[in-house]
Every structure is written in structure tokens, then in C-alpha cells.
A and B are shown apart, each in its own frame.
Chain A
Amino acid sequence: MLYREAGQFKTSYASDQAVFPILQDRIGIFIILAIVFVVIPMAGNDFILNAVMIPFLIFSLAAIGLNLLTGYTGQLSLGTGAFMGVGAYACYKLTTIFPDVNIIVWVIASGFFSAAVGAVFGLPSLRIKGFYLAIATLAAQFFLEWCFTRIPWLYNYNVSAAIEVPQRQLFGIIVTGPRASAETRYLIVLTIVVAMTWMASNIVHGRIGRMWMAVRDMDIAAELMGIRLLPTKLLAFAVSSFYCGVSGAMMVFLWYGGAESTVFNINQSFTILFMIIIGGLGSLLGSFLGAALIYILPIILRFVPPELGVPLHAATVEHISFMVVGALIVFFLIAEPAGLARLWQIGKQKLRVWPFPY
């Protein structure tokens, strides 16, 4: 009853091609944006911002990155963690070499470094596919991880091989480093994530998105239609790594405040992959939903049971999270391989005909 399209006619192809053709969807997006930009910073406390919203946004961005490569283009990659790391270390080097340049510029610029590395490690995709390609991306993951510890120049010869984020300012407000406030960091992360999500949406709804999906679904037919496979795949690797790189840079600079190379290990790669499997391959919304589920689940497990009188060790929480995530993956693959995003779509369909059953 509420969610009806009746009466919303499209009088031009442009309006038909819009990303949110239904009015209710547009209102919904506006409300969400209003909440995240205005309500949450005002009402939320530091904990919600630091431990929930900021990491959720950062992981969502990495999930979008991996989804572009794996969900839309069909190239399975297990190197996400390493590409995030490239962004983080690139940003660190850039800002320590040029400390006067706006840090946001460096966060975005580090994405380009990631993109270049991603494109190089994407070259094998010309000749190998499927889980063979996944194994090739493992080479990227382990080699880059090794670089992060064994190339001391990357962490400025710091004895502990860790990087510490220097304090940086923007228009007089401290944005990175231990004294940066949670609200400031949250708003910066939010702006970047919203902007990059908008751009990702534009790409996947247009010519490039169709080329990627064609390569995913039937690359032989795509090639015979004139789509050049290698440039298309390399573009996917590059764009995907760009997103992961920015995500990694933000993770270090606007969330953790520092990092060791272990942050960007194979487990990170798997975590992001699980986010997009559960959230929905080939769906931007799914990237957010999956990140929410996988990241917020352990938090819920940590805080809800004590409220209910069942205390759980931190370690137990982690173990149970693993079990639940593993079980969820199997469950989703059996019940709804298209993930939470598809469940959301089905929900909307039901909402359209509500209160009628069909």
C-alpha cells in the first residue's frame, strides 16, 4: 500500500534509467542520508562512532571494492587485505614525505597506488580464471604482506615495524592522530564513503558495469561481441583495488591510528570476501548489508548476552562469531546465494503488494 509505483510514469528514457526510479526509494535514500549525516553525529556517543559506524563504513567501502571485482566481474580475489595495506602504507609514506599536503588528498591518492598494484596482479587474469585466479591472488596477498614487514622504508625504519599515524589538520581541525575527535573522523569517512559509493553506482549502472557483468556471465560471448577481455578485467582490478586502498588508508588514519602488517593479512581478505558472499555478490547494497552483519555481529555478541545475564569471555565471543559466520555462509549459499541483498529485494516485492499476498 505504501510502496506502490502506480501513477509513477516515466516520460523519458533518462528517468527510466535512473538508479532509483521509484519515488519511495528516493525518499528512503534521502532519509538515510539525513540520519547518517545529521542525527548520528549529534546523538551518537564516541563508542557508537568509533567502534560501530566508522569501521562499518570502512569495511563497506572495502566490500564494495571486492564486490566490483568478484561480484560484478566474476574475478575471485583473495588479495583484498594486501591491497588495503598498499593503500595504508602508501598514504603513510606520502604524508610523512609531504606533511603539508592535505591528508584527505593523500588518502585518495593512495588509492591510485593500490590501483596500480592491483592492475599488475590482475594481469594473470588474461589466462586464468575461477579459483585458479584466486590462487594467483594469494601470491599477491602473501608477497605484499611480506613487503610490508621486510621493506623497512615503508614504515620509516621504525623498530617495531609498525606505523603510527601523525597528527594532521584540516582547516584548523585536527583530523588524524590521537587527538582527533570521533565526530570529525566519522564525518570525513562518511563523506568519502558516500561519494565513492555514488561513483561506484554510476559505473555499474552504465556501459562499464554491463561489460563487467558480461565478462562474469559468459566471457566468450562477451569477447565475440567485441569486448576486450584484458582491459576490462584490468580495469576491474584497478578500480577494485582503488576502493580497497582508500579503505585501508582510512582504516589506519581515521580509525586505528596506527597499524602493523598483520592487520592486512589473509584473514582480512577472507573477512571481506565473506561480507560480500553473505551480503550479496553483484550488489552495492549487499556490500553494506554484509559488512554490517559480519562486523556488528561480534559486537552484539559481546554486549547483549551480559545484559541478558550470560557473561561471555572475549575469546568465546570470537569463537562463536566464527562459528556463526561459517554457518551463515553455508546457510546463505544454500538458501539464497544472492545474499542479503536479494532477501531485501524480495522483501520490497512483498511490500509492493502488501497487504495482498501476491
Chain B
Amino acid sequence: MRAPGGPEVAVGDVLLSVEDVSLAFGGVKAVSDISFDIRKGEIRAIIGPNGAGKTSMLNIINGFYQPQQGRITFKGETRSKMRPHDAAYGGIARTFQNVALFRGMTALDNIMAGRTLKMHKNFFWQLLRYGPAMREEVEHRRFVEEIIDFLKIQEIRRVPVGRLPYGLQKRVELGRALAMEPELLLLDEPMAGMNLEEKEDMSRFVLDVNNYYGTTIALIEHDMGVVMDLSDRVVVLDHGIKIADGTPDEVKRNQAVIDAYLGVAH
């Protein structure tokens, strides 16, 4: 259910689907036989109690973890394992639970780093800098400045990210992911550790990214209010298995989900 007042985005075909995906570390099963899909243009929430396997799921989609079994189909192409490079080039970007910014660089450089995929001038032009390499830098700088305007982080461009407050760091990280011009954006607890005001800002950004850029979003989030307001559909995981899949209203009323959150033994 979308918060009232926001324009509806036409939700299209399946962009990414995972089928029977299982991942185990040694004896510990992170996820077992999970299947769900994400449709183009939607905001899909992945929720569940701690340790349910949500981040592992994102890591699998991203290519950081390779599942022992199952298939991932992205933009029509099916594979048993996703490689980080293929995911990035295919248009999957993400943010991380514990902000994974490049601490030695400024906010601007971090976001510019997100453009690396699109920058091609080779080593020898880089040696010279003036000329083609500089023109490429400026062209991408323009694009990055649009993102900076969108996220309203103009003042902190040149600040080393290690010195930024947490909320702004999260915003810079979002900017870095957007710089990749992703088709699918994976957000791992983007609101974690934020106060109400910051959450409202971030929610607005997430909605805007979905509306104006048309980016499909998969979102892990603990704040139920955010999940209910923002998402089109929800997947619920618990102890590595999927226990519900549907619209926010359906999921809210699902007994298994309620039990999982209340900690009823099963």
C-alpha cells in the first residue's frame, strides 16, 4: 500500500526471481529453499526477525555469497550463481547495514567512485589527465551533482565521510548506489539508527528514487510503519525460510508472521 499522495508507478514484469535458493555456512543454514520474485518498478520489502537470513538473501542477489543450490533469474537470464561483477554491470546496486563507505575519501569522491563502471578512458589518458580524461571526469561530475542535489548533500561534498554524522553517511551511501544508475536497488536497513525526522527524509528519498528514476527497490527494514507505508509487496523470512509473501495488508494479518515476531516457539 503506498502512502496517499504519491503517484502510482506502473508495476511491470518480473525483474528478478530466486528459486529454491539455499545457502549454508558449514553446518549453519542461512537460507533454505527460498523462492520469490521482484517486479519491475515495485518496492519489495524483505522483513523478518533477526537472523532470519535477510542480509544473506541480499548478498546472494548481489553475488557476494554463492548459494549451494537454486537459481537466480535476472532480466531474463538464469544462473545458478551471481558474480559481483555481473550483478553490478547488470544494474544491481546496494547499500549496507553497517555503512560501507570509503572512509579515506570525501563524499563527492565516494559518489564519483560509483561512476567507475561508466568511466572508460584508459590508463594512458589518465596519465595525462588534461584532455579526454578530464572531459570524462566533468561529464560524470555533472551526473553526480544531480544526485547530490537530489539528496540535498551539497554542503558536505568535500568532507571526508568518516567525519559525517551517521544519517548523512547513509545518504551518501545511497548516492553512491544511485551513481551506478541501477535498475535494481538493494537497501539493507536504510533507516537503521535514525530518528523520526531522518526516517521521514530517507523514506521520501526512497519513494522519489522509485518514482522519478523508476528504480526497482528491494528493501530490508525493521520499522513496520515504514514497511507498510512504502512497499508494494512484502516477503517475510524467519530462520531462513519464507513464511509469507504478499501485500503489506495480507502479511500483517498472517498468523505465522505474527507468531514469528512475537517469538512463539515453533
Number of A-B contacts (CB under 8 A): 102
Residue of A nearest to B176 (CB): A225
A214 to B113, Cβ gap below 8 A? yes
Any A CB within 8 A of the CB of B241? no
Which listed residue, B88, B113, B123, B134, touches A17 by the CB 8 Å rule? B134
Which listed residue, B100, B104, B119, B129, touches A282 by the CB 8 Å rule? B104
Residues of B within 8 A of A (CB): 62-64, 84-85, 87-89, 93-94, 96, 100-105, 109, 112-114, 116-117, 119, 121, 123, 126-129, 133-134, 136-138, 141-142, 145, 176, 180
A225 to B116, Cβ gap below 8 A? yes
Most A CB contacts (10 A, CB to CB) among B63, B103, B127 go to B127
Which listed residue, A210, A216, A226, touches B109 by the CB 8 Å rule? A210
Q: Which residues of A1-53 are within 8 A (CB) of B? A: 12-14, 16-17
Q: Mark A195-222, 1 if CB is under 8 A from B, else 0.
A: 0000100110111101101101110111
A218 to B129, Cβ gap below 8 A? no
B121 to A216, Cβ gap below 8 A? no
Residue of A nearest to B59 (CB): A224
Which listed residue, A13, A202, A206, A226, touches B85 by the CB 8 Å rule? A226
Residue of B nearest to A239 (CB): B123
Q: How far is the CB of A18 from chain B (nearest CB, A)?
A: 9
- B-side binding surface: helix, strand, loop or mixed? helix
B129 to A226, Cβ gap below 8 A? no
Any B CB within 8 A of the CB of A227? yes
- A-side binding surface: helix, strand, loop or mixed? helix
Residue of A nearest to B130 (CB): A202
What is the bound-complex CA distance between A227 and B137, given in angstroms? 17
Known: A17-B134, A206-B137. A213 touches B105 (CB 8 A): yes
Which listed residue, A16, A216, A218, A228, touches B101 by the CB 8 Å rule? A218
Known: A210-B105, A225-B114. A13 touches B138 (CB 8 A): yes
Known: A211-B113, A221-B96. A226 touches B127 (CB 8 A): no
Most B CB contacts (10 A, CB to CB) among A202, A206, A208, A223 go to A206
B180 to A210, Cβ gap below 8 A? no
Residue of B nearest to A206 (CB): B126
B112 to A210, Cβ gap below 8 A? yes
Any B CB within 8 A of the CB of A235? yes
Q: How far is the CB of A71 from chain B (nearest CB, A)?
A: 9
A206 to B129, Cβ gap below 8 A? yes
A17 to B138, Cβ gap below 8 A? yes
Q: How far is the CB of B163 from chain A (nearest CB, A)?
A: 13
With A207-B126, A224-B64, A226-B116 given, can you name 8 additional A-B contacts, CB distance below 8 Å? A13-B145, A206-B133, A207-B119, A207-B136, A213-B104, A221-B101, A221-B102, A226-B117
A224 to B142, Cβ gap below 8 A? no
